[in-house]
Copies of this chain bind each other. A is one copy, B any other.
Amino acid sequence: MSVRSGVAEVESSERVAQILDASARIFASKGYEGTSMRDISESCGISKSLLYHHFTNKDELYTRVAETATKELYSFVEGRVAAETDPTQRIRAFMLATAEYFHRYRWAWIASTNAFWSDPKRRRQKERMMRRKRYETHLRELIRDAVEAGQIRNVDEAMAGRLILSALNWMHRWYDPSKSATPHEIADTFFDLIFKGLENKG
Contacts and interface: CB of A to CB of B under 8 A. Distances in A.
B195 A198 contact: yes
B173 A116 contact: yes
A30 to B, nearest CB: 5
Interface string A27-71: 011111110000000000000000000000000000000000000
B200 A152 contact: yes
A189 B166 CA distance: 14
Interface in A145-195: 146, 150-153, 155-156, 159-160, 162-163, 165-167, 169-171, 173-174, 186, 189-190, 193-195
Interface of A: 28-34, 110, 114, 116-118, 143, 146, 150-153, 155-156, 159-160, 162-163, 165-167, 169-171, 173-174, 186, 189-190, 193-202
